[in-house]
Structures are given as C-alpha cells and as structure tokens.
C-alpha cells in the first residue's frame, strides 16, 4: 500500500530550517522525499513524501517535532493563509490504496500529533468529522484570529487535542484527499487588487471554473501580483484551462500574464499533451511529475483503487 503526503509548513525563507525539516523525514526508513518547494513571499514550504502508512506517520511526527523546535507562528509573516506551523498535512491514496486507507492514516496521525505535541488537530476533506469542517478554507477563514473567535463555540472544538491555539505551533489540519495541483500565475502588475479580482472571477465559489480555489496576492520580493490557485480536480479543470481563464481575465483588466509555476509535483495526466511554453510554465521538466519519481524508485505509478 502506497500513500502520498504533502505537508505544507509555514516556513519558506530560512533555508536552514527547511533543510532540517527535510532531513527529519528522510531519516525514516521506507519514506521517500520526492520534492521540496519553498517560496519567500508565501513564507511556506511544500514537501512531497511517499511511503506506507506506518512509515509515513513516523516521518511526519518527526516533521512536526522539528517544526515545534524551529518555527514560531506568532512571528510568522507571509501572504499565504495559515493557522499552524505545520499548517496542513493531507494523505493521498496511490496504487494499492483506497481513500479509506488515507482516511485511516490521517485520523491515526491526528491522534498521535495531539498526544505528543499538545496541538489542536482538525480533520478535513475525506477524513472530516462533519461537512462543516470538510473545507480547508472554512477552517482557515480569518486566520488564527478568526479561529480563536470560533473556538468560543463548542461546535468548533478540534477533533483531537485542546480547544486552544498554541502560541508557537498554532493548530494543524490533517486529512485525506485526491490529487491537488498548486498552480500559480504571475501578472505584469504590482496591483494585488487586480489579482484578487481575477481570482474571484476564476474560482468555483465565485461562479468561475469548477474545482478551482484561488486568491490574489502580492509577491513583494518580485514586485508582481500573483493569482495563486489550487486545482482540486484536474480532470474537471486542468492547468491549461485554468491558465487560459486567468489570461482572459487579465486581458480584460489590461494586464499581461508573465509566467506560471507549479508548486510541488503533479500527476503526469494533468499535463499530458500540454506544451509548457503555451502556459509560460517556468522550471518545468519531467522532474515535476509524480510518476517520474515513482518509476525511478521502482514503485507503482499513481492510480488509486478508489
């Protein structure tokens, strides 16, 4: 049984910290670190791991331990929404596994994280304990301040751990889901309001593309605005369609699209038949495809059983 896990950590500026986080997961036998991506403006790093449910949980516990030592959420600044030092940890079923296996791993890890680190843990997506908690955006709405307000209501008590926000570690969200593609488009403007309007027009909640979540942010280090998207079902909205929608909306704003970028890895089916130049996709190669790494390791490619 093979699962993927893609922990998102609230640190993207201190390379030495990200190095220690990566080393912590690499030290666990049976777990493979396939990719790590960091962004200083989002101040966030995304790690892509694969392994069996047991070894993956051990590696992730070591990741949480290193994050507890190295990250202070109260001092964190970045444009990406977050409520935890280890903000979100999803499990994704690969070959030989079903979604139920990913759910079991998520719930087991959630219990162990709460017991070992004293953090409040929320379950989301397929592992969620209620429909109201299924959406990551709903859990993160308003950041730690918004969550602190909701914690006054017992309905919002974490699934595991204390009903409080740890000053350094915050809370964490753990769950199970299908593949998600983090795909960003950079605009030829510094005006973040333009990116926010475009994000509203393309995301599903605004009547845009199905299975698309989007926000508009300013990349201060690059002096450019960005439409940051999560494609939660690339079969319904593939990267090419998302890119074209952003480009059309940008054209209506009188703004050009400079480039796009893939954060982490993606299934090769999402980019089948796609010319990266058409998407102005930077730093794209077969190394950005999940199956490239799985085949290199002699592991079965990434179609889940269901």
Phi and psi at residue 123, to the nearest 5°: -95, 140
* Cα-to-chain-centroid distance, residue 201: 22
Phi and psi at residue 210, to the nearest 5°: -65, 145
Query: Is residue 4 within 8 Å of residue 48, measured between CB atoms?
Result: yes
- Express the helix, strand and coil content of the chain in percent, nearest 5 each: 35, 25, 40
Phi and psi at residue 49, to the nearest 5°: -120, 150
Phi and psi at residue 158, to the nearest 5°: -55, 155
SS3 19: helix
The closest alpha carbon to 241, from 287, 205, 278, belongs to 278
SS3 44: strand
* Cα-to-chain-centroid distance, residue 51: 18
The one catalytic residue in 32, 42, 76, 80 is: 80
Sheet with strand 212-219: strands edge to edge: 212-219, 224-231, 181-187, 257-263
Query: Is residue 126 within 8 Å of residue 177, measured between CB atoms?
Result: yes
Euclidean distance between the first and the last CA atom of the chain, given in angstroms as a whole number: 13
Residue 170 has a CB neighbour count (10 Å cut-off) of: 25
Is 80 assigned a catalytic role? yes
- Active site positions, annotated: 80
């Amino acid at each position: 049984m093979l699962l993927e896990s893609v922990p998102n950590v609230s640190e993207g500026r201190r390379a030495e910290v990200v190095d220690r986080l990566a080393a912590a997961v690499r030290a666990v036998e049976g777990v493979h670190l396939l990719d790590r991506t960091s962004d200083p403006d989002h101040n966030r790093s995304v790690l892509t791991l694969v392994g069996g449910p047991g070894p993956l949980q051990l590696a992730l516990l070591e990741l949480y331990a290193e994050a507890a030592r190295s990250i202070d959420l109260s001092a964190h600044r970045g444009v990406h929404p977050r409520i935890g030092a280890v903000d979100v940890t999803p499990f994704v079923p690969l070959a030989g596994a079903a979604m139920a296996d990913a759910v079991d791993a998520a719930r087991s890890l959630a219990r162990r994280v709460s017991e070992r680190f004293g953090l409040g843990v929320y379950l989301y997506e397929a592992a969620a304990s209620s429909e109201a908690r299924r959406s990551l955006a709903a859990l993160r709405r308003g950041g730690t301040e918004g969550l602190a307000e909701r914690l006054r209501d017992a309905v919002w008590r974490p699934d595991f751990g204390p009903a409080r926000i740890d000053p350094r570690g915050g809370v964490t969200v753990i769950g199970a889901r299908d593949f998600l593609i983090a795909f960003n488009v950079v605009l030829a403007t510094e005006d973040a309001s333009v990116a926010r309007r475009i994000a509203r027009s393309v995301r599903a909640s605004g009547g845009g593309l199905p299975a698309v979540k989007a926000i508009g942010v300013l990349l201060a280090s690059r002096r450019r605005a960005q439409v940051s998207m999560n494609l939660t079902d690339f079969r319904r909205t593939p990267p090419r369609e998302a890119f074209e929608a952003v480009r059309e909306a940008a054209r209506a704003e009188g703004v050009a699209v400079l480039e796009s970028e893939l954060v982490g890895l993606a299934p090769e089916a999402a980019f089948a038949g796609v010319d990266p130049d058409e998407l102005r996709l930077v730093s794209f190669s077969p190394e950005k495809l999940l199956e490239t790494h799985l085949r290199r390791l002699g592991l079965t490619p990434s179609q889940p059983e269901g």
